[in-house]
A and B are shown apart, each in its own frame.
Chain A
Amino acid sequence: MKLNTKRFIAGILIVSFFVYSIVIYTVGTRVDKGEKYVTEQAKKGKLLFQKKNCIACHQLYGLGGFMGPDLTNEISALGKGPLFAKAFLMAGSERMPNYHFTETEIEELIAFLTYADKTGVSPVKKFKINYDGTVNWKGKDETRD
């Protein structure tokens, strides 16, 4: 392969990296179905979620550690909800540490989980598999535009 060909391909790929990045930061991630729930409290809750490293054991959208359950839809899940979550946050469990949160902190975490719940569905349990190997499911494709 000629040096100029290599430079040309590498150049195109590098430029497409930056262009694609900007596309992802904007149009690729414009929609947020939970937008209305992004309150000051929820924002603080998200930071608290990070500072306490909840992600070491929990997942959002299946991403994170696997010791505890996925928390994306904790707030709307059958038989769970804010009070159920609060109980864990107040006392921990055999595996989950007790963080000795204050009442305000618990409210913030719940506000964040309430927001997360509105953004989508995880884990996906109802879906349809297409012949090309793609999948359609509620919470992603149906509500699109």
Chain B
Amino acid sequence: MEPLTGKGKMKRETSIYFILFAILSLLGGIAFGILGAFQFVIPKFFELIPFVKCRPLHVSMVIAWIFLSATGGIYYYLPRYCNVKLFSNKLQKIHLWIFILTGIGVIISYLAGKFGGREYWEFPPVLAIPIIISWIIFGFNYFKTVFTKTEPWPVYLWMWGTGIFFFLFTYLESNLWNFSYFRDHLIRDITVQWKAGGSMVGSWNMLIYGTAIFLMDRIQQDNRIAKSRLAFIMYFLGLTNLIFNWAHHIYIVPNAIWVRYIAYGISMTELLILGKLIWNWKRDLTKSLQDFHLLSVRFIIASDVWIVLNLMLSILLSIPAINIFTHGTHLTVAHAMGSTIGINTMILIASCLFLIPDVTKVQFSKRQSLTISIGFWMMNIILLFFWVALILAGYHKGYMVVEDKLTFQEIMLKIRPYLMVVAITGTVIFAGVLMVFVPALKLIKAYLRST
């Protein structure tokens, strides 16, 4: 690594803080996930932070990783690579500060045992206020920036805008339970909660898939894909799914029956996305494989493989006849983990590995690249075992629940070996992530010293 001192001070990028806190949040989030996984199989394990606190710490910190890294990337890429000037740097800084202060608030509230008890967002509802404000600020800054662009937008600008817009609305929607009209009617409450939650995941996927398309476009210096008709058709199909497919999470909740049919029908359009991926795979992959030596590209290729695997799983889980067995089991967890680690995290790591050397103007040394490569293989190979163990745990539980012969405790005892594999492989995945990010953190540290 070449020293930066003596070259004169560079201006410090705000976006690097988004990335720095994103990485720290991911490391913390996985650590709590591992703790929780061991608590699952060994009761009374590490009682200082019990499961009821570990689980939300894990979920919130991992979600923070997704948002911080995606947002930091967007703030950085817009002015550098999208031919626009960021509307306001000041708003970007305010956004960062709100995020960090709210994040600290969330962590403190969990540790203190104060909850709001909603899935994904288990913190007290007052903390939703700064989050909503920060997204309004982000959206305002984003749209003020991109609407100055005169030439047609590539698809990723549409996707980022869509992600921000829909996140804001679905997040507001997820807070409707604060009104008794929603809260005191359990069926409505659960339906609206999972409508919001399902679409929200769709909205952050917009931010992330947009980032993946942006990166491939930049790295391969080819903007045809991002402007192609097919890219837009896929984008609109994704948006349709975001709006209408969420009810596959709640087939068994007794809301109106057509809610289920709409979700089932729309979910099946994902077959088109799957088909397109497989159809083009050979061509796209041959092209990307030429750049396999580039670290970012490598992570994107891995995410492509995980997209196909998870899409197959999620399409199966969306068929009511299969869902009736798999709902409420670790198969859902397999789907969630496969997507957040295999797809989202791989793409966002790719983005970090592109962005950090770009900001710091320092490339990874040969040794660092090797460490990152080993981390890459470790993460991906072990993730496969982790994922399959969850699928098997879910499959067995689903079958035993419907068969209705064993008690809850007996079923849990039977799937315990799988969950042990999950805890152990999870630990190895953590080691892989560390190998990827320790070199990256070193670059950031040197950069912060020199600016």
Contacts and interface: CB of A to CB of B under 8 A. Distances in A.
Interface of A: 1, 3, 6, 9-10, 13-14, 16-17, 20-21, 24-25, 27-34, 38, 43, 46-47, 49-57, 59-70, 94-95, 97, 115-116, 119-125, 127, 129-130, 133-135, 137, 139-141, 143-144
Given A56-B55, A122-B252, A124-B252, A50 B158 contact: no
Contact of B187 (A51, A119, A123, A125): A119
A13 B203 CA distance: 14
A48 to B, nearest CB: 9
Contacts of B184: 38, 43, 46
B187 A3 contact: no
B299 interface: no
B366 interface: no
Q: Which 7 A-B pairs have the closest CB atoms?
A: A62-B328, A50-B117, A29-B188, A53-B115, A120-B254, A69-B408, A129-B321
A111 B312 CA distance: 41
Given A28-B256, A34-B186, A62 B327 contact: yes
B401 A123 contact: yes
A64 B195 CA distance: 15
Contacts of B52: 52-53, 56-57, 97
Interface in B136-182: 152, 158, 162, 165-166, 169, 173, 176, 180, 182
Contacts of A133: 264, 319-322
Interface residues of B, number: 74
Given A31-B256, A51-B116, 11 more contacts: A14-B165, A29-B185, A29-B191, A32-B186, A56-B51, A56-B56, A57-B51, A129-B324, A134-B260, A137-B324, A141-B257
B282 to A, nearest CB: 25
A56 B199 CA distance: 21
Interface of B: 40, 43-44, 50-52, 55-56, 114-119, 122, 152, 158, 162, 165-166, 169, 173, 176, 180, 182-188, 190-192, 194-195, 199, 229, 232-233, 236, 239-240, 243-244, 249-261, 264, 319-324, 327-330, 333, 401-402, 404, 408
13 contacts: A28-B258, A43-B184, A50-B115, A55-B118, A56-B52, A61-B252, A66-B333, A115-B186, A119-B187, A120-B254, A125-B401, A133-B321, A144-B257
**Most A C-beta atoms less than 10 A away, residue of B114, B184, B194, B402:** B184
A144 B51 CA distance: 39
Contacts, number: 180
Nearest to B181: A25
A18 to B, nearest CB: 8
Contacts of B194: 63
A28 B330 contact: no
B410 to A, nearest CB: 12
B373 to A, nearest CB: 35
Contacts of B243: 13, 16-17, 20
A65 B232 CA distance: 37
B117 A54 contact: yes
Contacts of A16: 243
A134 B43 contact: no
B151 to A, nearest CB: 10
A13 B261 CA distance: 19
Given A6-B232, A17-B243, A123 B186 contact: no
A123 B43 contact: no
A139 B252 CA distance: 9
A65 to B, nearest CB: 6
Nearest to A134: B320
Contacts of B259: 24, 28
Contacts of B322: 133
A52 B194 CA distance: 20
B115 A29 contact: no
Given A123-B327, A139-B254, A55 B186 contact: no
A47 B323 CA distance: 29
Contacts of B186: 32, 34, 46, 60, 115-116, 119
Contacts of A43: 180, 183-184
Contacts of B328: 59, 61-63, 66, 70, 122-123
